[in-house]
């Protein structure tokens, strides 16, 4: 895979079989090809590619792109909180009932955060007018990186204005949030992302691990939650830190667009190769 005919390969000779339910950590230095792997999985790159990706034996190019992407779960590292109510953030298409939302928030340790007293970025009395809401969304789209755009595409296919009529001040779900969700850390925002995925029961989830404002404890709880609540899902974690993916079933080490090493963390440590060196130097 190349990003342009005149450019070098961003991915080449990548052959890997991932088993159902496996938890895979993807590591490698900057520019090694980690995000490119996720991009081809989400069918974001079409030109200058060859090869195929099969899911349950079926070539992903045979699926309609919208339907296909809606089967995958994406948890980007950047903020995925949109201006609107918490309910809207969890369920923009009104597909779920309140019990399902709370059950998911409880599983993901976010119920307390959502129902807490008003925080600095949370304003229960604010009513965002629809036109400024639309402008906010347009701005968010323009400023979003590719991962966030995929996320928007999947979840916000039919963006709906917040129905301020329905907002009650009694439910934490109906509180309006903006920006980074009342000061939530990146990890907490990812837990919120996990809530969305648990509600939607995706079988393949890509997690782009948070790098900014890293709170190691929350990051660990994201990984623990994944193992518990996503035990039957295949989870690919693009890792920016090693601690959180040491419990992965297998680790893929990317280097210059190819898979340099693949194996369990123990196998790779014993091999004393690139992964062992990354662990020793914590160099990413």
Which segments within 13-127 are labelled E, that is strand? 23-27, 54-55, 58-59, 72-75, 84-85
Q: Does residue number 25 form part of the binding site for ligand ATP (CB under 6 A)?
A: no
36 binds ligand ATP per the rule CB under 6 A: yes
| Residue 28 touches ligand ATP, criterion: CB under 6 A | yes
| Beta carbon nearer to ligand ATP, 34 or 196 | 34
Under DSSP, the state recorded for 166 is G
The only residue of 32, 155, 191, 253 in contact with ligand ATP, by rule CB under 6 A: 32
| Site track 199-238 with ligand ATP (rule: CB under 6 A), x = hit | ----------------------------------------
CB of 183 to ligand ATP, least distance (A): 26
How far apart are alpha carbons 267 and 255 in whole angstroms?
18
Q: Is the dihedral of CA 167, 76, 16, 54 positive or negative?
A: positive
The nearest distance, CB 117 to ligand ATP, in angstroms, is 37
Nearest to 53, CA basis, from 18, 29, 88, 100: 18
Question: By CB neighbour count within 10 A (0-12 exposed, 13-18 middle, 19+ buried), where does 204 fall?
Answer: middle
Output the six-digit token pair for 12.
């080449």
* Binding letters toward ligand ATP, positions 254-273, x by CB under 6 A: x-------------------
Please enumerate in sequence order all residues whose Cβ is within 8 A of that of 7, keeping only pairs 6 or more positions apart, or say none.
none
- Is residue 254 within 8 Å of 26, Cβ to Cβ? yes
Nearest distance from C-beta of residue 34 to ligand ATP, angstroms: 4
Among residues 35, 89, 223, 237, which is the contact residue for ligand ATP, using CB under 6 A? Answer: 35
Q: Which stretch binds ligand ATP (CB under 6 A): 3-11, 58-66, 93-101, 180-188?
A: 3-11
33 binds ligand ATP (CB under 6 A): yes
Burial of 16 (0-12, 13-18, 19+ CB in 10 A): exposed
Residue 276 CB, shortest distance to ligand ATP, in Å, is: 19
Q: Which of 83, 113, 86 is nearest to 98 (CA)?
A: 86
Contact stretch for ligand ATP (CB under 6 A) within 29-37, 51-59, 90-98, 245-253: 29-37
Candidate residues 24, 25, 34, 239; the one interacting with ligand ATP per rule CB under 6 A: 34
Residues in touch with ligand ATP (CB under 6 A): 3, 7, 10, 28, 30-36, 254
């Amino acid at each position: 895979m190349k990003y342009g005919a005149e450019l070098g390969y961003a991915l080449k000779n990548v052959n890997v079989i991932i088993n159902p339910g496996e938890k895979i950590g993807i590591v490698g230095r900057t520019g090694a090809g980690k995000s490119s792997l996720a991009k081809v999985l989400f069918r974001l790159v079409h030109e200058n590619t060859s090869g195929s990706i099969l899911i349950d034996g079926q070539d992903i190019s045979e699926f309609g792109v919208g339907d296909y992407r809606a089967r995958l779960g994406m948890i980007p590292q950047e903020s995925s909180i949109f201006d609107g109510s918490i309910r809207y953030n969890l369920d923009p298409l009104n597909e779920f009932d309140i019990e399902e939302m709370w059950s998911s928030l409880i599983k993901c340790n976010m119920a307390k955060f959502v129902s807490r007293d008003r925080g600095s970025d949370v304003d229960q009395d604010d009513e965002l007018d629809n036109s400024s809401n639309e402008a906010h969304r347009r701005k968010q789209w323009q400023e979003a990186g590719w991962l966030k755009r995929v996320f928007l595409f999947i979840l916000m296919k039919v963006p709906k204005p917040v129905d301020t009529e329905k907002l009650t001040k009694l439910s934490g779900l109906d509180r309006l949030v903006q920006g980074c969700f009342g000061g939530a850390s990146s990890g907490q925002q990812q837990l919120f992302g996990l809530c969305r995925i648990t509600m939607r029961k995706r079988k393949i989830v890509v997690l782009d691990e948070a790098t900014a404002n890293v709170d190691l404890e929350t990051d660990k709880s994201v990984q623990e939650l994944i193992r518990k609540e996503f035990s039957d899902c295949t989870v690919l974690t693009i890792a920016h830190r090693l601690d959180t993916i040491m419990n992965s079933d297998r680790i893929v080490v990317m280097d210059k667009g190819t898979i340099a090493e693949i194996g369990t963390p123990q196998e790779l440590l014993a091999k004393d190769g690139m992964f062992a060196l990354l662990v020793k130097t914590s160099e990413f």
